[in-house]
Structure 1
Amino acid sequence: MDVLRDFFNPYERNARLYPALITLLPTFVSLYCFFEELRDILTTVIGSIFFVAVSYLISKVSRELGKKKQDTLIIEWDGMPSTRFLRHSDSTIDPLTKQRYHTFLEKSIANFRCPTLEEETNDKENTDKVYDSAIKWLLTKTRDTQKYSLLFRENISYGFTRNFLALKPWGLVINFIILFGSIGLIYKRYQFDFNKVLPIEWVSILISIVIIILQLLITKETVHSKAKAYARTLLEVCDE
């Protein structure tokens, strides 16, 4: 069953589900903290198969938004880092290491030849397709998440930050509404007599603020950094 399979898949859970749940956390917490009559319902829902189904749905939304965001970022980055790092014109990886990677790929992939610097300069689009094919081969080679556990963790880290960034605009709107709504409820109930505010209600306010700060801290640069770390680890497979 796809729902249960994805729910227990480490990548689906960590890279796609958790960004969405963290984004929506202030909503759940505020409903629980400010509305006592909803607590039994929320407790039941979170412990039921309904929660699994909702989690599956929001993980798919997170995935789709993340993929769309990635398409935009690839244009801004001038290609995925894994492809860029193989180019002769890119200086991220030193020339000797890069030549070693090129040699490994040419020996390991049937009918494969890395473009020359001249070919790359004259036809960047097609030479990138050659590099992309090498990256696809590496991805296929490294599917064993136990053997390539570090690469798997880097992939999850990149996926999490990418999807969290994709959810950021919607998440900020929702969480600011929740924050100001919670403040409004405190005024309505206590007229800002903070001594009367329940500790559980302060917890709700604090969680909303923390999640908003976390959302603001995740930027395109954060995602790019994670993408580059993943690309480096992937290409290091060429040194095995």
Structure 2
Amino acid sequence: MATKNPWYGYKRIAVMCRRAGMSIGNRLVYRIMKAHDLLKRRSPPQPELQHAQRLFELLPQGPNELWQADVTYIYIPGFGWRYAVTVIDYYSRYLLALHLTSSYAAAEVLVALDKAIEEAERIHGTLRRRPTLVTDNGSSFIARRFLAGIKERFSHVRIRYRTPTQLGLLERFHRTLKKEEVYWRMYDSPDHARECLAEFRKRYNEDRPHWALLPAPGADPITPVEVYRDAVAIEIPKWQGWAKEAQRRIEALSAA
């Protein structure tokens, strides 16, 4: 399990072993991985996330209430830089779309959102309410074509200028994408990259337990698909004061 997933730490490997039917504790997995030099190197601690970012995390009470969209870069030798447009469901951490394109134009971002809606409706049927879509202030997300394309489908909220960590979920996801997929691959072409990214998306949604998805206090984390598709209940933060402040901030940003 660890050799197939060298980017995972011992705790996640232990969870995956238990999900596979093995009766094994975290400490034993740690000792085994240490003995075989399989422990993941500890990354330097990330700075504390800004208060505004955490406010957004409190809002959704179920799938398809709050989505985030963002763009990151992927280099393909011989072809140059490509853009990966990602759309993720905040509540379940389910990756709805991962669209690789040569252009950062509004039209390509709308293609990614079309794919996200198609995936959401494949699982849940026609969406009964418009999701809130959180983006940054990148040129594609403020373009007239983009705004016209989402007007009837989303409630759009843009993060404040120079506060990118308000988009913290996708910032963290992009680090995961790079560490667990992009940096381990040598893509032959954009088409090859798309195939690999599709495999990664399936692995991320269906095989990779997410630490934010706990069905009960002290329980092992579960995967995004179990929350998004199978409706497994998870613990929701109960910081009600922050939730009220988050709603106020969302309304203020929407009115701006």
TM-score by length of 1: 0.28
- Structure (1 or 2) with the greater helix fraction: 1
TM-score by length of 2: 0.26
- Structure (1 or 2) with the greater strand fraction: 2
Relative contact order (alpha carbons < 8 A, sep ≥ 6): 1 or 2 greater?
A: 1
